[in-house]
Copies of this chain bind each other. A is one copy, B any other.
């Protein structure tokens, strides 16, 4: 066991080191908005009247809302597998683009492996702040809760072997990555924006004349609460050619096959029924899920452990459901591979280079990069 750990540590060093001194070469980069609505007020806009900055005369004016903002980068020698990254609760696309201790973010690690990166800020989060909702924001002190829920440890103690630096500055940066949700929390709005982002990503990356069956599709890469809209988007848009999900929070099941609800200290995890013809879509594309460390099998009194215990157990049932209907779903429980210490934010953990290698290997095994 110690040997395995040492070998893995070496591999991790190598996998980071192999790229550390290399330049990152891009074809281009930019951002775009995807999805959304336009609110139009009745009447005629009057160019000659000024109502004041805080109280514009809305008559005849419009207001764009409920779109996502997508940041993209196309690397040199790009593989034909653009990755569309979808964040979870409490944050923005930032979680894919940085680490709290200043190392390169997961999307950059994948760019260095020649995968185009498209990173979403979902409607109402980050730079996609214009929404149709009326929302009141007020500071809510909740960081110790997230320390626990996201399995850094039990506040103020870190898990001893956690893949997260234990200095105060890193923790400060980690919490400042968070940003509120000013949307109406409408799942349909999220899925519509993801679907629009998928189509735009395909239009920007499609290779003419490719004969591969994997040509011209997007690989969704989801995290946590981004997992559930990810499954809905994959069921609803044929341009999704695979899904990789890091600790998804929710799952769909065929009607009549939904597992019993699973209660825990932080609430009850329930599968969501969908018609079989929709679920079948998830059996037609490769799917992989990754879960980190510190997730118990039995009931405990630990907030983070409890929250992910029921979600991991639901992920096992989800994997079984896809595969018993002829699909290709893989559930990777990292500790079972000897990869220890991962928090809920696997993508920015200290071993994210190793996790990028794992993901790259899966994409190549599934021939999604061709």
Contacts and interface: CB of A to CB of B under 8 A. Distances in A.
Interface of A: 23-33, 36, 38-41, 45, 47-48, 50, 53, 56-58, 60-65, 67, 69, 71, 76, 92, 94, 97-99, 102-105, 108, 121, 125-145, 148, 154-155, 172-173, 175-180, 182, 265-267, 301-303
Contacts of A148: 47
Contacts of A175: 62, 64
Contacts of A56: 140-142, 145
A45 B155 contact: yes
B136 A136 contact: yes
A127 to B, nearest CB: 4
Nearest to A129: B179
Given A33-B176, A47-B154, A125-B129, 20 more contacts: A24-B27, A24-B28, A28-B104, A30-B103, A30-B104, A47-B148, A56-B145, A61-B144, A63-B141, A63-B142, A71-B97, A121-B127, A126-B127, A129-B182, A130-B139, A131-B139, A132-B139, A133-B139, A135-B136, A135-B137
Contacts of A138: 134
Contacts of A41: 141
A129 B180 contact: yes
Top 6 A-B residue pairs of the complex, sorted by shortest distance between their CB atoms: A33-B176, A129-B179, A61-B141, A31-B98, A56-B142, A58-B141
A266 B176 contact: no
Contacts of A45: 144-145, 155
Q: Which of A45, A48, A144, A180 has the most chain B CB atoms closer than 10 A to its own CB?
A: A144
A320 B176 CA distance: 41
B144 A176 contact: no
Contacts of A102: 30, 32
Contact of A97 (B30, B172, B179): B30
A359 to B, nearest CB: 19
A53 B89 CA distance: 10
Contact of A23 (B26, B133, B182, B301): B26
A223 B134 CA distance: 29
Contact of A48 (B39, B129, B139, B301): B301
A148 B48 CA distance: 10
24 contacts: A23-B26, A24-B25, A28-B104, A28-B108, A30-B104, A32-B98, A47-B144, A47-B155, A47-B302, A47-B303, A48-B301, A58-B140, A60-B144, A61-B141, A62-B141, A63-B140, A63-B141, A63-B143, A125-B129, A128-B179, A129-B129, A131-B137, A134-B136, A182-B182
